[in-house]
Amino acid sequence: MNDKLKTKRPRGAQQIVIADSVPFGDERQRFLDHMLKGGWLPHTVRGYELRLAEIASRIDIMTPGGITDSQIELAADDWEKTPKLNPRTKNPSAHQRKCFIRVAKRWLRFLGLLCERETAPYSNVIRDFEIFLDQERGLAAHSIGMKRNRVRQFLTWLDRCQIKLQDVSIDDVETYLASERPRAWSRVTVSICVESLRSFFRYTAKINLCAKNIAGAIDAPRLYSQTNLPKGPSWTQVKRLISHIGKKQIDIRDRAIIILFALYGLRRSELCTLRLESFDWENEQLVVKRGKLYCEQLYPLAREAGDAVLRYLKEVRPITACRELFLSYTVPFGPLTPNGISSVVQRRLRALGEQLPHFGPHSLRHACATRLINQEFSLKEIGDHLGHRDPKSTLVYAKVDLKALRKVARLDLGGLI
């Protein structure tokens, strides 16, 4: 038994001894050690130890093919009817039953023995499509995920309409694109969906799963460049956002995230890739891996950003083997995902209580660019700061350069008109 687990036990479980006859001791101990290394408290791990013993005595984890959800449900039924290792656990509630099932799945998933149920229609086709995009097309993980999600939504719609994938026609695709939704799709969203479906039908035609003429027949809406203004909070709102962040541990982490977004105009994926070694504290520099340029970009480390990150590292960031800068706030500690980063920014922006066009991390990138425009930086300098691959990407910010537009409006044409 691990010494750390002997120090603390759940209340009422001080005299409980797990019998040596409980099977799969090595597998249970591996998972408990994994939890301790992940930052779980010994008291919590001890509770898991008792639960795992109850699970292991009711499930044969060596069953060929893995353990299914129904087998776990049957074990939970048996657990509810029999005496427990902890005598104080009587008449388990529905919450305790869910906890039994959750722990069982977490343990079996760690061992690679959980038979995950494929709920999405054509899950095997989607999985092979992802492999094709990765190994043959060489797409980035973000692009693969976007196409996968759009295709999965379409296949779910097909299943709901009882249309077989082999029988899909261009009329079915157009019906799907024109179908009503709780929130209407913009032209950009429709265009992204069309591109994903084209890619999918090119793949299915290649493996003779669908007709070969579908991909080329899907029409996409025409998109016009520079049609919209950048949508983000004003710099005054950004400063108010930062000043309103509290002093709790999670606030310290979130404050560092917001400041890095606002000062450097980072993309969400670029902030996720920041690591401990991205900061050169001696030379006061920050190295950012630019996702679209496939290179590293060196920035001077602003004092506000450096102070915020240092405070996070010293006071909040858990001690772990992870090298990524920003970690989850709760155990098991791991790198913040792109969706986790978005949730942080959205929660903080909505807390301002103001009506904003967008609440995601990209809105702070727009706020950064608009601020640079107002400080009269050139479009070339702004594009370099934002890591734009194409100079045309920066042209949209020319429309918010009010000072320059006022100069144009004041031009004296010398009586030519």
In a domain, 413, yes or no: no
Look at residue 91 in the predicted model and tell me its pLDDT: 56
- The CATH code of the domain that includes 247 is 1.10.443.10
Domain-ending residue, one of 85, 111, 137: 111
Q: Domain check: are 156 and 84 in the same one?
A: no
Three-state secondary structure call for residue 27:
helix
What's the domain range around 289? 235-407
In a domain, 229, yes or no: no
Q: Domain check: are 390 and 244 in the same one?
A: yes
In a domain, 414, yes or no: no
109, 18, 118, 108: which is closest to 60 by C-alpha?
A: 108
Q: Domain check: are 159 and 283 in the same one?
A: no
Q: Could you tell me if residue 234 is left (phi over 0), alpha (psi between -120 and 50 degrees) or otherwise beta?
A: beta
Q: Domain check: are 211 and 261 in the same one?
A: no
Domain-ending residue, one of 165, 182, 217: 217
- What does each of the 417 residues of the chain score in pLDDT, given as a tens digit? 455 454 444 444 444 456 678 899 999 999 999 888 877 878 888 889 999 999 999 999 988 888 888 899 999 988 888 766 555 555 556 778 888 999 999 999 999 888 876 566 788 899 999 999 999 888 888 789 899 999 999 999 999 999 999 999 999 999 999 887 777 788 888 899 999 999 999 999 999 998 888 998 898 887 666 556 567 788 899 999 999 899 899 999 999 999 999 999 898 989 999 999 999 999 999 999 876 667 788 999 999 999 999 999 999 998 888 899 999 887 778 898 888 999 999 999 998 888 887 888 989 988 888 888 888 788 788 788 888 777 666 766 665 555 555 554 455 555 544
Look at residue 129 in the predicted model and tell me its pLDDT: 93
Query: Using an 8 Å Cβ cutoff, are 352 and 339 in contact?
Result: no
43, 53, 36, 54: which is closest to 11 by C-alpha?
A: 43
329, 287, 313, 332: which is closest to 32 by C-alpha?
A: 332
Is the N-terminal amide bond of 332 cis, ω within 30° of 0? yes
Give the CA distances from residue 126 to residues 153, 207, 271, 317, in Å, rounded to whole numbers and listed in that order: 11, 13, 29, 37
Structure tokens at 266: 């980072």
pLDDT digits (tens, 9 = 90+) for 376-388: 788 788 788 888 7
Q: Domain check: are 15 and 66 in the same one?
A: yes
Q: Which residue matches tokens 């949508």? A: 231
Q: Domain check: are 106 and 130 in the same one?
A: no
In a domain, 222, yes or no: no
In a domain, 19, yes or no: yes
Query: Using an 8 Å Cβ cutoff, are 190 and 177 in contact?
Result: yes
Q: Domain check: are 279 and 213 in the same one?
A: no
Q: Rounded to an integer, what distance in angstroms lies between the CA atom of residue 263 and that of residue 265?
A: 6
- What amino acid positions are annotated as catalytic residues? 267, 292, 362, 365, 388, 397
pLDDT digits (tens, 9 = 90+) for 321-335: 889 999 988 777 889
Instruction: Count structural domains, the chain.
Output: 3
Q: Rounded to an integer, what distance in angstroms lies between the CA atom of residue 177 and that of residue 190?
A: 7
Structure tokens at 204: 């299915």
Q: Domain check: are 263 and 376 in the same one?
A: yes
Q: Domain check: are 20 and 60 in the same one?
A: yes
In a domain, 225, yes or no: no
Look at residue 14 in the predicted model and tell me its pLDDT: 42
Look at residue 397 in the predicted model and tell me its pLDDT: 65
Q: Domain check: are 271 and 147 in the same one?
A: no
In a domain, 415, yes or no: no
Model's pTM, two decimal places? 0.67
Q: Domain check: are 256 and 372 in the same one?
A: yes
In a domain, 412, yes or no: no
Q: Domain check: are 247 and 379 in the same one?
A: yes
Look at residue 90 in the predicted model and tell me its pLDDT: 54
Domain-ending residue, one of 111, 136, 166: 111
